[in-house]
Amino acid sequence: MALNKIEAPDANISYADAIDYWTGIPATVDGVLGGFGHTTLPKTDVKGSIAFLRRISRFYPEFEESGKKFGSRGCDVGAGIGRVTRDVLSKFCSKIDLVEPVVPFANQIRIELERKKVLDKLGDVLQIGMQDFTPEPENYWIIWCQWCLGQLKDAHLVEFLRRCKRGLQKDGLIFVKENNTSTLMDEFDNTDSSVTRADQSFRRIFDEAGLELLEAEVQQGLPHGLYPVRSYALRPKQDS
């Protein structure tokens, strides 16, 4: 008797279903953070991201030098309403392009940056899905992907990261900040048609994409009941 093949969790992802879900979510911090916008999560997340970026700059001086020598343009992928650009990347980058396919979120970006008086940091707003995004070669110092990669199927995520790798200027870095499962298994969420990946799954995908993991750290101080959140700093492998 033939055994039924068990589908990988990412096989259930539907890009159309994800867009439909997020289009119905309010274009607010509380909306994009799943109802945790009025908790300690936003400030804790921002503080952790800034500290992680500063630590990478300190321990990898070639990264900081790259920003000075070749420019410090950043790319905020799955940008939502621009929260990460507004509160984190604007402190490091001269200009930031934002990739966000959900129209209400993309329309809110300019308003959010203007509120914090960082509108001068706004580059282009690209209303396109990650699976279709191809950065210009050697264009970015930082490519930041946070709480969005779970919307991509594994194979598409590998290809996306390979394209991002080619979009980095010399000694630029890709930063990933995502939920991790507490087990070794990935989990599909039918609500927004996404996958939460185990840490080992991310590391396998990074390796397949030709990326070297420089540093990884778990975000501390988040509200109880959330998935663990881990930040990764990545650079192209020398032989890729």
Q: Are strands 168-179 and 187-189 parallel, antiparallel or unpaired?
A: unpaired
- Tokens found for residue 132: 């279709």
pLDDT above 70 as % of the chain: 98
The DSSP code sequence of 145-181 is EES-GGGS-HHHHHHHHHHHHHTEEEEEEEEEEEEB-
Structure confidence at residue 1 (pLDDT): 46
- Tokens found for residue 206: 């990074």
Q: What is the pLDDT of residues 210-235, one digit of tens each?
A: 999 999 999 999 999 999 999 999 99
Q: What is the pLDDT of residues 73-99, one digit of tens each?
A: 999 999 999 999 999 999 999 999 999
Distance CA 27, CA 29 (A): 7
pLDDT above 90 as % of the chain: 95
Average confidence (pLDDT) over 130-137: 98
Q: What is the pLDDT of residues 20-55, one digit of tens each?
A: 999 999 999 999 999 999 999 999 999 999 999 999
Residues 6 or more apart whose CB falls under 8 angstroms from that of 22 comprise 102, 105, 192
Q: Please say if the pLDDT value at position 159 is more than 80.
A: yes
Q: What is the pLDDT of residues 140-152, one digit of tens each?
A: 999 999 999 999 9
pTM, entire model: 0.96
Structure confidence at residue 4 (pLDDT): 60
Q: Please say if the pLDDT value at position 3 is more than 60.
A: no
Contact (Cβ atoms closer than 8 angstroms) between residue 234 and residue 213: yes
- Tokens found for residue 13: 């992802």
Provide long-range contacts, Cβ within 8 A and 24+ apart, for 124-129: 124/97, 124/98, 125/97, 125/98, 125/100, 126/97, 126/98, 126/99, 126/100, 127/100, 127/101, 127/103, 128/99, 128/101, 129/15, 129/19, 129/101
Helix-strand-coil split of the chain, %, nearest 5: 40, 25, 35
- Tokens found for residue 149: 């990669």
Structure confidence at residue 224 (pLDDT): 92
Return mean pLDDT, the chain. Answer: 96
